[in-house]
Amino acid sequence: MEALVLVRDALLGVIGDGHHEALIKCLRIWSTVQAATFRSDGETIDLLKDYPDNLGNRAKADATIRAMWGAHKGLLKKRDSSCFDAATDWARVFWCANSVTSDCIRQRDLDSSSGNSQDPAEAAEEEAAEEEVEMTPA
């Protein structure tokens, strides 16, 4: 139960902080520290000791955490090139289902309802550009 409280507190802290990505990625680091399997150089350990409370080091710590996450993710991909396929498939299904159940309102729809009509050629270009965008997880 104590571990769940730690995770809950970390997630609640993320919601109120502007460094969301690094804080979430730091969960993996914190879990390896708790498991006594974390290994790094002294400079990194000193940088992360009081993360995220030390505002003077936060930007550097955020960058270090993102780099460590990227290196770990790269290692996992090198070991198994399909290791994220299930997560990617799940995210695709989730977002497709979400888009069916939650209507999105496009800016051009708001503009047209408020009397700001858009040039049809411009609207077609925007729609084509939106269709070309492919959402992929980070």
CA torsion, points 99, 105, 107, 113, in degrees to nearest 10? 150
The answer on 90 and 57 residing in a single domain is no
In a domain, 137, yes or no: no
Q: Answer yes or no: are the C-beta atoms of 20 and 14 closer than 8 Å.
A: yes
The answer on 67 and 92 residing in a single domain is no
End-of-domain residue from the set 79, 102, 118 = 79
Domain holding 14, by residue range, is 2-79
Please count the structural domains in the chain: 2
**Is 27 exposed, middle or buried, given 0-12, 13-18 or 19+ CB atoms closer than 10 A?**
middle
Q: pLDDT, tens digit, for every residue of 7-62? A: 778 777 766 665 777 888 898 999 999 999 999 999 999 999 999 899 999 999 99
The answer on 65 and 10 residing in a single domain is yes
Q: Is the pTM above the cut of 0.75?
A: no
Q: Answer yes or no: are the C-beta atoms of 7 and 17 closer than 8 Å.
A: no
